[in-house]
């Protein structure tokens, strides 16, 4: 049995995912509000529909802010060695990806406003055919990783 990649992503990343999940579930809450508006202003809706909608919205909220981010975070693993990058992630679909260093075309770090607020960056690794992302690392680790991969990839230069 092959060893799993050893490194985990930054614990702060979990918070970012939870906030993102919260923002996504705002959509469900907005829908719910719409339903109440319809109920009060236009046409009365049977009570049980409203209750079920509330429960569904609550479940969605919990799933998005609590369960999924946690599972996702705990499953994420990566490892960068001199010759290859290995990723393992996914909750329902578990993906395990190998990218040889010779195939790396370029590496980016990037951050949106949320990631920036938590001093995190994501690292994006591009080959000639695919793009892969390590979603949340602390700025320092991300920068270091980017530079290291870039150097290693250049050392292993091989034309396609």
Partner 1 sequence: MSNKKRLHPVAMLLSLLRYAREAALPLIFFVFVGGGSGYEWWHVIAIGALLLFTIGNGVLGWFFYTYQVENNELRIHQGFIFRKKRFIPRERIQSIDFSEGLIQRLFSLVKVQIETAGGGGEPEVVMSALRREDAELLRSELYDKRKPILDEEVEELENPKTFEYKLSWRELLIAASTSGGIGVVLSFVAAFASQVDDLLPDAFYESITERVMEATLPYVLLGVAFLLLVSWIFSVLGTVLKYGGFILTRMENDLIINRGILEKRQLTIPVHRIQAIRIVEGVLRQPFGYSVLYVESGGGGGKDEQFSTILFPLIKRKKVTEVLAEILPELAIHEEYTSLPVRARRRYFFRFCIPVLLPIGVISYFVPYGAMSILLLPISALIGYLHYRDAASGVKNDVALLQFRQIGRTRVYVSRKKIQSLEIETTFFQKRRQLATFKVSILSSFAGKQFRVKDLGRSHAEELLNWYSYRSNKRKDNEE
Which residues bind to partner 1, rule: CB under 8 A? Answer: 1-2, 81, 83-84, 86, 90, 92-100, 103, 127-130, 132, 158-160
Minimum separation from the CB atom of position 146 to partner 1 (A): 18
**How remote is the C-alpha of 21 from its chain's centroid?**
10
For partner 1, give the closer residue by CB, 124 or 138. Answer: 124
For partner 1, give the closer residue by CB, 5 or 57. Answer: 5
Report angle CA 87, 85, 7 to the nearest 5 degrees.
55
For partner 1, give the closer residue by CB, 5 or 13. Answer: 5
Minimum separation from the CB atom of position 84 to partner 1 (A): 5
Give 122's strand partners. Answer: 110
For partner 1, give the closer residue by CB, 47 or 93. Answer: 93
For partner 1, give the closer residue by CB, 43 or 157. Answer: 157
CA distance 71 to 151: 33
Nearest one of 87, 97, 62, 67 to 9, comparing CA atoms: 87
Minimum separation from the CB atom of position 28 to partner 1 (A): 24
Minimum separation from the CB atom of position 39 to partner 1 (A): 32
Nearest one of 155, 138, 33, 139 to 104, comparing CA atoms: 155
CB burial string 57-68: b at 16+ within 10 A, e below? beebbeebbeeb
Minimum separation from the CB atom of position 32 to partner 1 (A): 29
């Amino acid at each position: 049995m092959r060893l799993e990649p050893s490194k985990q992503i930054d614990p702060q990343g979990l918070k970012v995912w939870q906030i993102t999940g919260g923002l996504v579930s705002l959509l469900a809450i907005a829908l719910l509000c719409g339903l109440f508006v319809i109920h009060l202003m236009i046409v009365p809706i049977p009570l049980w529909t409203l209750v079920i909608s509330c429960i569904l919205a609550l479940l969605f909220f919990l799933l998005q802010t609590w369960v999924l981010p946690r599972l996702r975070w705990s499953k994420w693993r990566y490892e960068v060695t001199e010759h290859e990058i290995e990723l393992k992630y996914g909750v329902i679909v578990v993906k395990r990806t190998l990218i040889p260093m010779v195939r790396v075309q370029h590496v980016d770090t990037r951050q949106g406003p949320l990631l920036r607020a938590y001093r995190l960056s994501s690292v994006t690794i591009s080959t000639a055919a695919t793009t892969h992302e390590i979603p949340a690392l602390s700025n320092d680790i991300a920068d270091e990783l980017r530079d290291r991969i870039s150097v290693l990839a250049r050392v292993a230069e091989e034309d396609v």
